[in-house]
Amino acid sequence: MKRIETDLPGCLVFEPVVHEDARGEFYESFNHAVLAGHGLQPRFVQGNVSVSRRGVLRGLHYQWPNPQGKYLSVLEGEVWDVAIDIRRGSPHFGRWTAVLLSGQNRRQFWIPEGFAHGFVALSDRVVFNYLCTASYDPAADASIRWDDPQLAIDWPVAAPQLSAKDAAAPTLADIVADRLPLYEPSPHALPSDASWDRR
């Protein structure tokens, strides 16, 4: 598993080893021991799949309380995927990073608790697959405008298709502080001296 740093601390990309043979291919979509070797020990409690057409944008979403760490990948198609640090007190508050995830690059994207997340579909059909470290809590489900001028996210699609919820989302500046996640060390970060299988 190759680790790729992003320009937003805490958000990491992993590229699995792909085993190809005459039948096709095999790769691990998640491996606890491998992530532990990179200092992460996420405990996933829910898996989600969404299917989107080209131009659909889902986001920007987060949960607070009950924030969700997410481990994201694309099984079919391609997305431009964005994570934003919205944790009150974070030195990186309001900063975002973007990663191209596709069935072709098989990249897996870890976004810690307290970040907002969204993606836009760049192919005719996208099958988006992800694991979450907390269960869905409709009462804690929250959104931020995809085109928030303060965030100035450089989306590659000018007029995406949005859900009514996302079209009506507030800007970050309009969200009262106690509705934003608190900056706290990820519960899944291992002590730096943890000796784990470092495959």
Ligand X SMILES: Cc1cn([C@H]2C[C@H](O)[C@@H](COP(=O)(O)OP(=O)(O)O[C@H]3O[C@H](C)C(=O)[C@H](O)[C@H]3O)O2)c(=O)[nH]c1=O
- Give the catalytic positions in this structure: 61, 130
Q: How far is the CB of 162 from ligand X (least distance, A)?
A: 9
d(CA 171, CA 179): 12
Q: Dump strand ranges (E) for the chain.
A: 2-5, 12-15, 19-21, 24-26, 46-53, 57-63, 70-76, 78-85, 96-102, 108-111, 115-121, 125-132, 141-143
- Give the whole-angstrom CA distance, residue 176 versus residue 143: 13
To ligand X, the closest distance from the beta carbon of 105 in angstroms equals 19
In the complex, what is the shortest distance from the CB of residue 39 to ligand X, in angstroms, rounded to a whole number? 23
Among 105, 131, 79, CA closest to 15:
105
Stretch that binds ligand X, among 21-29, 58-66, 83-91, 148-156 (CB under 6 A): 58-66
The residue from 37, 59, 69, 160 that contacts ligand X (CB under 6 A) is 59
**157 touches 57 (CB < 8 A):** yes
Q: Which stretch binds ligand X (CB under 6 A): 3-11, 54-62, 98-106, 172-180?
A: 54-62
Q: Name which position in 26, 28, 50, 125 contacts ligand X (CB under 6 A).
A: 50
Binding mask 7-46 for ligand X (x = CB under 6 A): ----------------------------------------
Q: How far apart are CA 134 and CA 67, in angstroms?
A: 7
Contacting ligand X within 103-142 (CB under 6 A)? 117-119, 136
Query: Binding pattern to ligand X, positions 63-102, x when CB under 6 A?
Result: ----------------------------------------
Say how many C-beta atoms besides its own lie within 10 A of residue 166's C-beta: 20
Nearest residue to ligand X by CB is 136
- Binding to ligand X by residue 61, rule CB under 6 A? yes
d(CA 50, CA 128): 5
Integer distance in angstroms from the first to the last C-alpha of the chain?
7
Q: Which residues make up the interface to ligand X (CB under 6 A)?
A: 48, 50, 58-59, 61, 117-119, 136, 163
